Amino acid sequence: EVQLVESGGGLVQPGRSLRLSCTGSGFTFGDYGLSWVRQAPGKGLEWVGFNRGKPYGGATQYAASVKGRFAISRDDSKSIAYLQMNSLKPEDTAIYYCSRHLSDGGSCYQNWGQGTLVTVSA
């Protein structure tokens, strides 16, 4: 069974950093692209960024709202992906989901983790 588990969320002050982790199991982690998607309180889903995975070129892209502050990395040998979040703002408060792309490389989200809550507040 495919599973994704996010961790690392919590309360952080504005301007500080936080690193989220996404641990995968039940599939060959390195064969898939991965995305981070967030949902702010009372709002809709927002794409944060993706890494396409080595079979699909390994490119990483970010939404304009986080570009230059957030960075996605992955350690395929450990089946873990990371979202490094720097210079956090109150508007980054959200549930952050890790999601796995389709097996054909299409960057829509076939599997999701349960999410981890990040709260940015003084």
Partner 1 sequence: DIQMTQSPSTLSASVGDRVTITCRASQNINIWLAWYQHKPGKAPNLLIYRASSLESGVPSRFSGSGSGTEFTLTISSLQPDDFATYYCQQYNTYSTFGQGTKLEIK
Residues found near partner 1 in the complex (CB under 8 A) = 35, 37, 44-47, 50, 61, 63-64, 97, 102, 106-110, 112-115
Q: What would the two tokens of residue 86 be?
A: 């720097």
Which is nearer to partner 1, 13 or 111 (by Cβ)? 111
Distance of closest approach, residue 16 Cβ to partner 1, in angstroms: 27
Tokens in use for 42? 């009372």
Q: At closest approach, how far in Å is the CB of 110 from partner 1? A: 5
CB 49 within 8 A of CB 66: yes
CB atoms within 10 A of CB 34: 25
Of 42 and 122, which CB lies nearer to partner 1 in the complex structure?
A: 42
Rounded to an integer, what distance in angstroms lies between the CA atom of residue 79 and that of residue 89? 29
